[in-house]
Each structure stands twice: as structure tokens, then as C-alpha cells.
């Protein structure tokens, strides 16, 4: 990923192992961690449209959906992420 750097992030209280984080995804995570869900959501969605199947973004969006009270959508996203990368 161009412009990516190694970083460990935490969202919804769950740490995610260190991995390259693109600046666009990093911004979404920062907004998410700041509780600015309405601002983070479209960034996650845009990131996943540009990077279909990207597991970290899928996990982050699942956490956001859970915080929004959209548990069924969160569960679907988590299943997709686990199918793509069971060890993530």
C-alpha cells in the first residue's frame, strides 16, 4: 500500500494486530476512536469499495456497525472477514 506504515490500532475496545495502515483507513480509525461514527462510516465504506475484500477495514466497519446498534450487519461483516482471513 502506497503511503502505508506499520501501526497497531484499537477499535471498539479490541486491539487489532500491527499491520500496514493506509492513510485513508487510518483517518477512518482515528474518527472512529474519537467517537465520530457518522464521519468514520463513509470513509470505511469508501475504503472497502476501493479495496474489496480488505480484512482490516471490514473488521473496523463491523465494530462501527455494532456500536450503531446494527448487530446483524456487524455479524455479516465479521463472517466475511473471517472467511477471507480466519487467523486475522
Helices of type H across the chain: 23-33, 37-50, 55-67, 71-84
Look over the chain and give the mean of its residue pLDDT values, rounded to a whole number. Answer: 84
| Residue from 15, 11, 14 nearest 41 by CA | 11
Q: Is the separation of the CB atoms in 16 and 59 below 8 Å?
A: yes
Q: What would the pLDDT profile of 14-47 be if each residue is shown by its tens digit? A: 555 555 578 999 999 999 999 999 999 999 999 9
| Residue from 26, 21, 16 nearest 4 by CA | 21
Give the pLDDT confidence score for residue 20 in this predicted structure.
59
Q: Please, which pLDDT band fits residue 70 given cuts at 50, 70 and 90?
A: very high
Q: Is the separation of the CB atoms in 21 and 8 below 8 Å?
A: no
Amino acid at each position: 500500500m502506497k503511503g502505508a506504515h506499520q501501526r497497531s490500532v484499537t477499535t471498539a475496545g479490541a486491539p487489532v494486530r500491527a499491520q500496514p495502515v493506509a492513510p485513508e483507513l487510518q483517518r477512518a480509525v482515528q474518527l472512529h476512536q474519537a467517537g465520530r461514527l457518522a464521519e468514520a462510516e463513509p470513509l470505511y465504506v469508501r475504503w472497502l469499495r476501493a479495496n474489496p475484500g480488505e480484512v482490516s477495514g471490514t473488521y473496523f466497519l463491523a465494530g462501527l456497525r455494532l456500536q450503531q446498534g446494527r448487530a446483524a450487519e456487524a455479524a455479516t461483516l465479521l463472517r466475511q472477514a473471517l472467511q477471507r482471513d480466519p487467523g486475522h
